[in-house]
Structure 1
Amino acid sequence: MTTLADGEWHRLHPASPLLRGGIFIVAVLGFIIANLRERLIDVFFGVPRYGGDPIDAILERGAVGWALLVVAVVLLLILAVFYLSWRMHTFRVTGEVVEVRSGMLFRSNRRARLDRIQGVNIVRPFIPRLIGAAKLEVSVAGQDANVQLAYLGSAPADQLRRDILRLASGLRQQAVAVADAALAPTLGLAPEAVRSPGTATTPGIAASPGTAMSPGTAAVPFTVADRARDFFAPELDPDAAPPESVVRIPPGRLIGSVVFSGFTVFVVLAGIALLISVTAGGSDWLLVAFIPTLIASVSFYFTRVTKSLRYSIAGTPDGVRVGFGLLTTSNETLPPGRIHAIGVSQPLLWRPFGWWQVRINTAGHSTTKGAAGEANTTTLPVGTLADVARVLELILPGFDSGEQQALIERGLRSKGGDDGFTNAPRRAAWLHPFSWRRTGYTVSDGIALLRRGVISRELMLIPLARLQSVTISQGPVTRMLRLASARLHTVAGPVSAYLGVVDVAEAPIFFDRIASGAISSAQADTSHHWNQPGWNQPDRNQPNRNQPNRNQPNRNQPNGVTE
């Protein structure tokens, strides 16, 4: 572990108050420039000023000295507040939590438990990048539970992220358990009695709770060479991930995905309606009113493209890393076992190009927007079918790139029929006349696959180890048609795992397969401790992991379809 993860209190980058209070400083500078603007115009161009000028009033009253004194006092007060804010903002990383203390008058203490960490995001805005600073955000399961460290040195931020993820993986607990077992015989104690309460790292040494050690500073020396190296370095370090696991988005495909979007359809339809209105004798002021809309559209396209440049998804020892950005960069690492649902979709306009999008549900969400201003739950903004397979191989533990890839491809492109999915019956056409053939499900090696949609194709993949519950319901219309609907409950997110129509005879079987598979998968799952040996090896000796045991009574088997 580095010095920032040693359990002691540390301070942020010394420029943190300045970077966080940048808007306030810009406002002060704007006020000063606005008052000096007319005076500078008068000095250089001889243009007379009109109206009252605060500077003229100060000169006429001979209060220049007092004015300078007031300015100096204000500047000193601002610097003192910034300094005290920096001094009182400290953090520490122990074997159990990431803790941040801040505030001068009103103290704040935030803790992020390592076992609840859902991801670690590092954002480098353009201005902080110039001085080698970055913002680190720890995403935690829960409402408004994230912990931010703004700002750290760029290199220390990367090191601290690795340390936090390694601690969250169970590596520290495993190492301490080994050390305790080795130390116990020499002390004549049981292994669990070696560690004193409050000790997170060193066996046999107690740490006084709440004791603040001499804080260190999470900063790096400012050198031009280091800043140039950080600024022009690739977003993803070539040594951080195997080259074969890296998925990138070409700029041409990225631009095409933005152009062939629903927003473009709206702009085109609005333009056609405007031209028809003007041609039919409408007022020309409509064209003038359309100009701001046109400018906003150009800005929208430019922002979405520039924010998504250098997009990459890669597999690292500590999880999936998603990075993007040209001037302001962002990269987030999602540890294994934190993804609760995956959605692969294809809008109608993307179908001729064979493009797909991958989104996920996680228990925690970063407050920083993802690529192109979208939610950070979009793992692959646009990619080919091969890209989708590589991304699924990264975010699904135990993914079989052979058999499962063929099943997923059929789920994405097949029109229905005998393709490995249990599909809705023909009478479901009364409710879903176009998509009933593609509405179906299957279960493969601890993963439930739900397929629906014909205009916008969708495939949902739900790791059964992360499933919260399963519901089978039936309304008056579906009861009359001998149909039902099914829903798999996961954490909130963009992926909604439900099937609108299921054969009423298939509904209990669906419930049984999903419920029993979820129980067995949860019992065998160790992905939350991904650094322990064998965590990614499913137990192949268990017969019919995802199939109900027909030889024993099934307590999860429903007596019928619930209303």
Structure 2
Amino acid sequence: MSSLADGEWHRLHPATPLLRGGIFVFAAIGFILANLRERVLDVVFGIPVGSADPLEEIYRRGSVGWALLAVAGALVVILIAFSLSWRAHTFRVNDEIVEVRSGIVFRSNRKARLDRIQGVNIERPLIPRLFGAAKLEVSVAGQDANVPLAYLGSARADELRRDILRLASGARRPAAESVEPAREPGEGPSEPGVTVGGFARDRVVEFLAPELDPDAAPPESVVRIPPARLFGSIVLSGFTVFLLVGVIALAVGGAIGSSGWLPIAIVPALIGSAGYFLSRLTRSLRFSIAGTPDGVRVGFGLLSTSNETLPPGRVHAIGISQPLLWRPFGWWQVRINKAGRSVSQGAAGEAGTTVLPVGTAADVARVLELILPGYTGEEQGAVIESGMHSRGGSDGFINAPRRAAWLRPFSWRRTGYTLSAGAVVLRRGIVSRELILVPLARLQSVRIDQGPVRRMLGLASARLHTVAGPVSASLAVVDAEEAVRLFEAVAAGAVSCATSDTSHRWNHPTGVFE
């Protein structure tokens, strides 16, 4: 264990107040002074508005000392406020919880139980990376329930993540454990600190280093995404169609002399879409995924990076999809539902729930081996292959009957399900092919519905409830009798798998939290 996981209270990186908002404070002060300096000088020093050069006027009146004193006083007040904020923001990690206290006037206290941790994420935004700092966030189930530690030293963040995952796994703390103080890169055992040259060298190495931690994961990702494929997948997406429609609408509107409302309505949407594309591209560069002793490590990002460890048993649903425009290239995407930040919107939320932005069928198989390790047999491989490529028929799935074509005229052949190796596998979609896997141990509930039209056709719909996320585990049309059998089999299987599941305490001898 490092010195940060000893159960005592610790403080964050000394530059935390500046990184969390100080830069914006100074930027706001600079903006105000740049735009209102004449008014400020008129109020403070009595220099009339419109003077040729206010700074020369200060010098002419002999008020330079007062001006410097005012600037120094403002800086002192800001530094005192930052210092108090930093001293009041403390955290501790023991065998049961991660706890954070913060606030001066309004106090806040947040706790995360180690046996409820869904993942540990380390983000390195561009500016904090220049200071050698990183943000560690402990993801737990619940709305706005995550516990962030912003910011820690980059090396300390990596060490603390290993400690948190070790404690969450159920591994016993040695009875007589020596605590090694965590050191930043460049700080040797007997060095009092980091030299300027060493600090700069470490920052360069950090920018060029792979996202995966070689001490905890293989140095190479099990999947490599060529930049050309990544760029092509973004271009061949639904947003591209929207952008083309918007551009055509602008061109047509300009040709026929349309009123000025059209650009006002479309241009902001086009700018937003372009920003989404750029954000998705930069966040998906340097994508990496690999297995570690404490779960799956997923990393991405170019200038600002993020890498998250998903402990075993934290993936609640897996969605494998192939948009129509990707089909000629054989590309697929894999997304997951997890209890924590699954409902985030935009590119950040997509990156947080996407474990394969774009890959081949072989890449999908490698990713499934990592995030669903119990689903790796030859029979399971055949189920995945059939679910991804089959058009229906006798392929191991219980498919929708022909009369379902009244409600799903194009996709009824591919609509079906099967139960295999402790998971429910759903297949659907013809324009966008989808395959959904739900581990029975993670299932929340199952529901079947039958409205008047489906009742008349002898059909029903089924939905498997998991935590909120991008993967929707549902079938729109199922034979009514098969829906009942699905309900009974899934309900019984979920109880049995949940009872025997010990993946949430993956390193504990008995799998039980003590």
Match of 1:461 in 2: 437
Match of 1:400 in 2: 376
What are the Cα deviations for residues 143-177 of structure 1, in whole angstroms up to 9, with x where unaligned? 211111111000110010010011011113xx57x
Letter in structure 1 aligned against 2:96: E
CA contact (8 A) 1:130 1:231 kept: no
Q: Paired residue for 2:298, among 319, 322, 325?
A: 322
Q: Report the Cα offset of residue 427 of structure 1.
A: 0.7
For 1:89 and 1:337, the matched residues in 2 are separated by 32
- Distance change in 2, residues 1:526/1:291 (3 Å): closer
Matches within 5 A, 1:49-88: 55=55, 58=58, 62-88=62-88
Letter in structure 2 aligned against 1:261: S
- 1:364 partnered with 2:340: yes
For 2:497 and 2:221, the matched residues in 1 are separated by 26
For 2:433 and 2:171, the matched residues in 1 are separated by 41
CA contact (8 A) 1:305 1:372 kept: no
Match of 1:257 in 2: 233
Q: Report the Cα offset of residue 292 of structure 1.
A: 7.1
For 2:56 and 2:211, the matched residues in 1 are separated by 52
CA contact (8 A) 1:472 1:485 kept: yes
- Distance change in 2, residues 1:369/1:55 (3 Å): farther
Q: Report the Cα offset of residue 25 of structure 1.
A: 1.8
Matches within 5 A, 1:13-92: 13-21=13-21, 22-34=23-35, 55=55, 58=58, 62-92=62-92
Letter in structure 1 aligned against 2:30: L
Matched position secondary structure for 2:403: helix
Q: Report the Cα offset of residue 52 of structure 1.
A: 8.1
For 1:74 and 1:477, the matched residues in 2 are separated by 72
Matches within 5 A, 1:77-476: 77-172=77-172, 175=173, 221-222=193-194, 223-242=199-218, 246-280=222-256, 298-365=274-341, 374-476=350-452
Q: Which segment drifts farther, 510-519 or 66-75?
A: 66-75
Q: Report the Cα offset of residue 79 of structure 1.
A: 0.8
Letter in structure 1 aligned against 2:469: G
- Distance change in 2, residues 1:105/1:8 (3 Å): same
Q: TM-score, normalised by structure 1?
A: 0.80
CA contact (8 A) 1:165 1:318 kept: yes
Match of 1:561 in 2: none
For 2:229 and 2:449, the matched residues in 1 are separated by 41
Matched position secondary structure for 1:358: strand
How many residue pairs get matched?
Answer: 487
Letter in structure 2 aligned against 1:318: D
For 1:271 and 1:19, the matched residues in 2 are separated by 39
- Distance change in 2, residues 1:412/1:289 (3 Å): closer
- Distance change in 2, residues 1:297/1:451 (3 Å): closer
Q: Report the Cα offset of residue 53 of structure 1.
A: 6.7
- Distance change in 2, residues 1:60/1:108 (3 Å): same
Letter in structure 2 aligned against 1:466: R
Q: Report the Cα offset of residue 275 of structure 1.
A: 3.1
Letter in structure 2 aligned against 1:171: A
Q: Report the Cα offset of residue 30 of structure 1.
A: 3.3
- 1:529 partnered with 2:501: no
Q: Which segment drifts farther, 442-451 or 237-246?
A: 237-246
For 1:292 and 1:371, the matched residues in 2 are separated by 17
- Distance change in 2, residues 1:232/1:371 (3 Å): farther
Matched position secondary structure for 2:84: helix
- Distance change in 2, residues 1:118/1:470 (3 Å): same
Percent identity between the two aligned chains: 68
Match of 1:191 in 2: none
Matched position secondary structure for 1:302: helix
CA contact (8 A) 1:310 1:326 kept: yes
Matched position secondary structure for 2:363: helix
Q: Report the Cα offset of residue 255 of structure 1.
A: 0.3
CA contact (8 A) 1:441 1:448 kept: yes
Letter in structure 2 aligned against 1:136: L
- Distance change in 2, residues 1:117/1:36 (3 Å): same
- Distance change in 2, residues 1:30/1:485 (3 Å): same
What are the Cα deviations for residues 7-42 of structure 1, in whole angstroms up to 9, with x where unaligned? 1111111111111122112222333455789xxxxx
Q: Paired residue for 1:518, among 483, 494, 514?
A: 494
Gaps of 5+ in 2: 39-48, 186-192
Q: Report the Cα offset of residue 418 of structure 1.
A: 0.4
- Distance change in 2, residues 1:534/1:94 (3 Å): closer
CA contact (8 A) 2:159 2:182 kept: no
What are the Cα deviations for residues 399-430 of structure 1, in whole angstroms up to 9, with x where unaligned? 21522122111111111000000001111111
- 1:497 partnered with 2:498: no
CA contact (8 A) 2:212 2:218 kept: no
What are the Cα deviations for residues 226-268 of structure 1, in whole angstroms up to 9, with x where unaligned? 2222222121234432468622221111100111111111121
- Distance change in 2, residues 1:318/1:57 (3 Å): same
Match of 1:481 in 2: 457
Matched position secondary structure for 1:351: helix
For 2:343 and 2:456, the matched residues in 1 are separated by 46
